[in-house]
Structure 1
Amino acid sequence: MVAPNAVTAMALCFGLTGVRYGISGEWERAVLSILFAGVLDGLDGRIARLLRGESRFGAELDSLSDSIAFGVAPALILYLWSLHAMPKFGWIFALAHALSCALRLARFNANIDVDVQPHKSAGFLTGVPAPAGAGLAFVPLYLWLVTGEDIFRAWYVVAPWAAFIAFLMISNIATYTWSALRLRKRIRLEAIALAGLLAALLVTDPWLTLLLICGLYVALIPFGILSYAKVRRQREAAADPAA
């Protein structure tokens, strides 16, 4: 249990470190801290399964870490970077992100022991996961870092986008997981090559690459909704012999 929970604790610390960099105005380091927390969050569960160190304590710690690293920390960074300039309501939009992340994680915890989970059993998630929500919330910041244009830092651009991502996190829409994206055998080598090139792009031009990844993720959301609707229709047909 020690190894996966230590990785979860590291993710939490990286999320809070992002706030520290945000306070000092080091925006690139602030965002990279949150993104690295997301990488660690993706590893802790796999490490737990590999070492057979899964526990209820680890699940609770993971949710608390996610709430801070991908809810509170991005909300504070966005507020310090842009939303503080919004008259009266800037803090409300920052709170919306943190609150939506906490509500999403609470819903996830409440459903851990539920036997019937239609989205999960079909290989889908319910809403946008917390790490992805944090990454998507920073899209205006990525654009600002790439272009240097202050329009992307304006509160009237950042606030609606933050509200949109907050909605996606607590929504009931079906979104893809890695298990839902099953690759055909004839394109697996190409997928491996693409992953290698993507890693090189992240090192060469991280902000433009992150924009492309976020754009692809958002573009896949409607396809996830349609794919799950097809699965649901097939289940209903199988459950109703008359149909």
Structure 2
Amino acid sequence: MTEKPRPKLRRLPINRLIPNMLTVSALCAGMTAINFASREMWEASVFAIVVAAILDGLDGRVARMLNAQSKFGAELDSLSDFVSFGVAPPMILYFWVLEGAGRVGWVFVLFFSVCMALRLARFNTALEDPNKQAWENNFFTGVPAPAGALLIMYPLVLSFMFGDDLFRSPFMAGFFLSIIGGLMVSRIPTFSFKKAKIPAAYVLPVMIAVGLFVAFLVSAPWAMLSVIGAIYLGSIPMSFQSYRKWKKRAADGELEEDEEIDVDTSVKEDN
């Protein structure tokens, strides 16, 4: 009697696992930020959230480059985002200053986490919207999760430069948690640069600008993060005006084919 051959285990090439490895690394960075905050290592905790945001921005793009998009990766990315951007940053602020505010401080933490969960849920369902026009992918609806996570730590970053006397305040932390949480679930359009194309003539200046940005970020990280946060908040009114112009042009049929962007819902790149 012949033995039946054992079924071969399915094997996946390593390049298909790289995007999920980046996502898991972002999750670990978010959890590590909480650990740092519990030990009052504030600068390290903020740095860990920045690392999580960078990894979150890379995983979707790497998945597209390697043709490794999957539904599993998209769901893992969403769960990782909630922990890294919806739980870790408000917990850092709680350990930093809101714990002294008692129950009120905890309410602000819960409010932001709920807003993050609602934002991610809305983003996931919007990916499957058949009525969404291609040009709308130039914009997010509300502030995306990584940006919201970094913006709520603005008071903490400013305290690194100017001291705790002015910015280490439960009122200040609660204000940012409330405002940024509201912006995340709002319908305000904000710029999305994930599909942006750079003209060939501007490639060299852009690379030079990136080099200068990295140099300043390494030499004066907190000042650069403060400037970036201020620029991003200032860009929100501009994005609203730009959205209205795009919408009007689309209604008038004035958009060119190359101005429309294809939608790829197999993997999320940002949220």
Q: Which interval holds the TM-score relative to the shorter structure? A: over 0.9
**Contact residue 52 and residue 84 of structure 2 kept, 8 A:** yes
One-letter code aligned to 2:28: C
Partner Cα distance (2:183, 2:134) in 1? 15
- Structure whose alpha-carbon radius of gyration is higher: 2
Q: Distance between the aligned counterparts of 1:44 and 1:211, measured in 2? A: 25
What is residue 233 of structure 1 aligned with on the other side?
A: 248
* 1:50 partnered with 2:65: yes
Secondary structure of the structure 1 residue equivalent to 2:252: helix
CA contact (8 A) 1:119 1:174 kept: no
8 Å Cα contact 1:15-1:34 kept in structure 2:
yes
Q: Alpha-carbon deviation of 1:116? A: 2.0
For 1:179 and 1:63, the matched residues in 2 are separated by: 17
Q: 1:154-176, CA deviations, whole angstroms, 9 ceiling, x for partnerless residues?
A: 11111111111101111111111
Structure with the bigger RCO (C-alpha within 8 Å, sep 6+) is 2
State the SS of the aligned residue for 2:129.
coil
Q: Does 1:167 align with 2:179?
A: no
Instruction: Tell me the residue number matched to 1:223.
Output: 238
Specify the code of the residue in structure 2 equivalent to 1:172: R
Counterpart in the other structure of 1:61: 76
Name whichever structure is richer in helix by fraction: 1
Q: Report which stretch shifted further, 112-121 or 128-137.
A: 112-121
Q: Cα gap change, 1:120/1:58 in structure 2, threshold over 3 Å: closer, same or farther?
A: farther
The alpha-carbon deviation at position 117 of structure 1 amounts to 2.2
Gaps of at least 5 residues in structure 1 are none
Q: Distance in 2 between matches of 1:181 and 1:44?
A: 17
Larger deviation, residues 91-100 vs 28-37: 91-100
Whether the 8 Å contact between 1:122 and 1:231 is mirrored in structure 2 is no
Q: Residue 161 of structure 2 corresponds to which residue in structure 1? A: 146
Contact 2:155 2:168 in 1 (8 A): yes
Percent of aligned positions that are identical: 40
RMSD: 1.7
- TM-score normalised to structure 2 length: 0.84
Q: Which runs of 5+ in 2 are unaligned?
A: 1-15, 255-271
Residue 77 of structure 1 corresponds to 92
What amino acid sits opposite 2:185 in the alignment?
I
1:191 positional shift: 2.3
Confirm or deny: 8 A CA contact 2:137 2:192 kept in the other structure.
no
Greater mean deviation of Cα atoms: 19-28 or 110-119: 110-119
1:182 is displaced (CA, Å) by 5.2
What is the alpha-carbon distance in structure 1 between the residues aligned to residue 198 and residue 235 of structure 2?
15
Aligned pairs for 1:1-243 within 5 A: 1-118=16-133, 121-179=136-194, 183=198, 185-238=200-253
